[in-house]
């Protein structure tokens, strides 16, 4: 189980692996931002009745959650085929499912044109995005790590993770440019469709590279050894439940940090200056275009520290590196009130830079660590399920509770929530063994 990694010659170039693995994650985070922005600005008027504006907005925002609910379904579906027929073909299917659903949303007729079918189709394609996303990350992580040279899985594992800052940058940059050149009225009327349709470019690039990939030698060796399972999802749930639970808890704080940084802080920063009935600040009144510029800077920092974290995780080991980073995240949560209360654009920029630097440090090694926790025959299923279960706990819940925590308890409540999740992640890391030196071709169920 702990044999040093064998020096197997990679069959795909580093450039191929990097592009093939990061493009799906880039679309994932690009999709999240453009969909979230459109749900707030556009979907309530374009796809729902115009009677009660607050109800239309609530319905529009509720469609965001559909993707998170659908992701475990995608994990099970694509995980099954990824462990049965190979990583390459499954990744092509997941990318098509995800990408075509995103483009379809950009082409949807409005409520005025087709009535109730507009919100129904919006929900269908949002679920399609979620299913595709559920199978995307696990396969991308495996393409990176199973093609990595000996001793460099942590570094290669950052390739799919770099899709997150790229997607963040492209989404915010795209909406900024469309709004700047077309104006707010055209943006709401039809300009919002442009970012959705542009995702086709990333899908086309991803398909070209993935179709030219060679299947990983790790999967092919398992196939030749007769280690493929008829029902890998059932097997991983039955035999590796502890690893799924630990992987979920290890990943949860990463999601909590990211969605607090990009969803809660965005709402808090843009909201007018005021106080809640409990006397806590509820907004900073920072103009939207200034905050978008702050996020663009944060995305660059995010990318730099994501790459750096892979090198350090290879040198120090995943477990020790992530324990140190998790302690840093907990301290950051406790420092939240000092940085954000009565904040200015400059203090918010400092907060975003620190938070997204920590995000890169914890997110980067995950594409190496989670696959290393599972044997080859269930690796796609196990890593995908852990990653996407964490998305439900760490991504959907904070977006629902953070604003209420701030209203009732102030920024101390939000910061303590982040620190408490960090404590759970810390416990899971302490219960997990180091996986840096494992030879993925030898790990068996």
Say which range, 78-87, 188-197, 296-305, 363-372, has the weakest mean pLDDT. 78-87
Residue 308 pLDDT level (bands cut at 50, 70, 90) = very high
Q: Encode pLDDT of 241-295 as tens digits.
A: 999 999 999 999 999 998 898 888 888 888 888 888 888 888 889 887 888 889 8
Residue 414 pLDDT level (bands cut at 50, 70, 90) = very high
Say which range, 68-72, 242-246, 388-392, has the weakest mean pLDDT. 68-72
Cα 394 to Cα 256: distance, rounded to the nearest angstrom: 5
- pLDDT mean over 99-121: 91
pTM for the predicted model, two decimal places: 0.85
Q: Give me the pLDDT at residue 173, please.
A: 85
Contact yes or no for 250/380 (Cβ under 8 A):
no
Cα 92 to Cα 203: distance, rounded to the nearest angstrom: 10
Q: Give me the pLDDT at residue 1, please.
A: 39
Say which range, 4-13, 149-158, 220-229, 250-259, has the weakest mean pLDDT. 4-13
When the pLDDT of each residue in the chain is averaged and rounded to a whole number, the result is: 85
Report the percentage of the chain scoring pLDDT > 90. Answer: 33
Q: Give me the pLDDT at residue 53, please.
A: 65
Q: Give me the pLDDT at residue 322, please.
A: 97
* Element (DSSP H or E) covering residue 193: helix 193-211
Q: Encode pLDDT of 124-162 as tens digits.
A: 999 998 898 888 888 888 888 888 887 888 999 999 899
Cα 269 to Cα 350: distance, rounded to the nearest angstrom: 13
> Is the pLDDT higher at 304 or at 2?
304
CA quadruple 376, 378, 381, 387: dihedral sign: negative
Kindly tell me if the per-residue pLDDT of 225 is higher than 70: no
Kindly tell me if the per-residue pLDDT of 439 is higher than 80: no
Cα 375 to Cα 339: distance, rounded to the nearest angstrom: 43
Please report the DSSP string for 205-231 in residue order: HHHHHHHTPPPPHHHHHHHHTT---S-
Cα 334 to Cα 415: distance, rounded to the nearest angstrom: 5
Say which range, 215-219, 240-244, 384-388, has the weakest mean pLDDT. 215-219
Q: Give me the pLDDT at residue 76, please.
A: 85
- pLDDT mean over 383-400: 84
- pLDDT mean over 291-319: 93
Say which range, 20-24, 38-42, 206-210, has the weakest mean pLDDT. 38-42
CA dihedral angle for residue 96, residue 215, residue 373, residue 163, rounded to 10 degrees: -40
> Is the pLDDT higher at 266 or at 373?
373
Cα 134 to Cα 138: distance, rounded to the nearest angstrom: 8
Kindly tell me if the per-residue pLDDT of 364 is higher than 80: yes
Q: Give me the pLDDT at residue 9, please.
A: 46
Cα 336 to Cα 354: distance, rounded to the nearest angstrom: 11
**Helices 411-430 and 241-259, axial angle in degrees (round to 10):** 150
DSSP state at residue 441: T
Contact yes or no for 343/351 (Cβ under 8 A):
yes
């Amino acid at each position: 189980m702990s044999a040093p990694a064998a020096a197997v010659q990679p069959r795909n170039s580093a450039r191929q692996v990097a592009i093939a693995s990061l493009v799906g994650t880039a679309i994932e985070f690009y999709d999240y931002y453009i969909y979230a922005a459109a749900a707030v600005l556009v979907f309530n008027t374009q796809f729902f009745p115009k009677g009660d504006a607050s109800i239309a907005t609530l319905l529009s925002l509720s469609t965001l959650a559909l993707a998170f609910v659908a992701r475990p379904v995608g994990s099970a579906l694509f995980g099954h085929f990824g462990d049965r027929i190979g990583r390459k073909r499954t990744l092509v299917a997941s990318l098509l499912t995800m990408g075509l659903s995103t483009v379809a949303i950009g082409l949807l007729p409005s409520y005025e044109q087709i009535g109730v079918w507009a919100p129904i189709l919006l929900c269908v394609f949002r679920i399609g995005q979620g299913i595709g996303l559920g199978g995307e990350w696990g396969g991308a992580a495996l393409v990176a790590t199973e093609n990595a040279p000996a001793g460099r899985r942590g570094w290669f594992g950052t390739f799919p993770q770099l899709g997150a800052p790229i997607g963040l940058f492209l989404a915010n940059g795209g909406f900024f440019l469309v709004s700047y050149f077309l104006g707010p009225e055209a943006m709401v009327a039809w300009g919002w469709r442009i970012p959705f349709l542009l995702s086709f470019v990333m899908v086309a690039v991803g398909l070209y590279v993935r179709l030219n990939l060679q299947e990983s030698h790790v999967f092919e060796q398992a196939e030749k050894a007769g280690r493929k399972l008829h029902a890998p999802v059932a097997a991983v749930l039955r035999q590796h439940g502890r690893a799924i639970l630990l992987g979920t808890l290890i990943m949860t704080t990463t999601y909590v940090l990211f969605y607090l940084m990009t969803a809660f802080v965005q709402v808090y920063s843009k909201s007018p200056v005021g106080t809640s009935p409990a006397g806590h600040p509820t907004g900073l009144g920072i103009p939207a275009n200034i905050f978008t510029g702050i996020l663009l800077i944060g995305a660059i920092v995010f990318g730099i520290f994501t790459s750096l974290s892979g090198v350090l995780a290879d040198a120090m080991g995943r477990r020790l590196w992530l324990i140190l980073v998790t302690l840093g995240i907990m301290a950051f949560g406790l420092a939240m009130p000092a940085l954000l209360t009565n904040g200015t654009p400059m203090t918010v920029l400092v907060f975003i830079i620190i938070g997204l630097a920590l995000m890169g440090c914890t997110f980067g090694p995950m594409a190496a660590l989670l696959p290393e926790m599972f044997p080859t025959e269930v690796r796609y299923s196990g890593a995908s399920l852990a990653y996407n279960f964490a998305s439900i706990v760490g991504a959907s819940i904070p977006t629902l509770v953070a604003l209420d925590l701030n209203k009732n308890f102030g920024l101390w409540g939000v910061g303590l929530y982040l620190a408490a999740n960090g404590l759970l992640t810390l416990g899971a890391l302490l219960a997990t063994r180091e996986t840096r030196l494992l030879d993925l071709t030898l790990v068996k169920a």
